[in-house]
Amino acid sequence: MASVVELLTLDNAVFNAYMFWSAVLVIKMLAMSPLTATQRFKTKTFANPEDLRSSKLKVKFDDPNVERVRRAHRNDLENILPFFVIGFLYVLTNPVAFVAINLFRAVAIARIAHTLVYAVHVVPQPARALAFMVAFASTAFMAVQVLCAALL
């Protein structure tokens, strides 16, 4: 059985893939703030009085385009943060590299797709649901594997 030190090195393809796809997801989540700001400026929807560029503008909280991006960002926080934790623990179970690497890849690509079809270019369902479910199911599978490994 591999030691934790051996598992958490760049020589371990699983850990390397986890690091790569986690970094991709961090960059994706960071991009949500400028995307929100872009929508705010485009629609002149500002949540704070000090952000108003003109005395004619008023504070608004209900622009559908801004709120759509904010919901997508919140959905990322609800789904990507658990992936970071469970993905790391999954690496410690010394999983089959092919399976683990493709699970990490599936989560990241699905989360990017989720944002694209929900907040960037709105696509009718089931596009968003499919993207959500791929990432959700992959993360849930890893969680079950971690639980099973912890029980042995």
State pLDDT tens for residues 9-19.
Answer: 899 999 999 99
At 74, the pLDDT band (50, 70, 90 cuts) reads very high
- Distance CA(111)–CA(114), nearest Å, equals 5
Query: Residue 1 corresponds to which amino acid?
Result: M
* Dihedral (Cα; 116, 118, 119, 122), 10-degree rounding: 90
Is the pTM above the cut of 0.75? yes
Give Dmax over CA atoms of the chain in angstroms: 67
Q: What pLDDT, on the 0 to 100 scale, is given for residue 55?
A: 66
At 54, the pLDDT band (50, 70, 90 cuts) reads low
User: Which residue segments constitute the domains of the chain, with CATH numbers given?
Assistant: 4-151 (1.20.120.550)
Enumerate the β-bridge partners of residue 59. Answer: 46
Say if CB 24 and CB 108 are below 8 A apart.
Answer: yes
- Which 3 state secondary structure label does DSSP give 59? strand
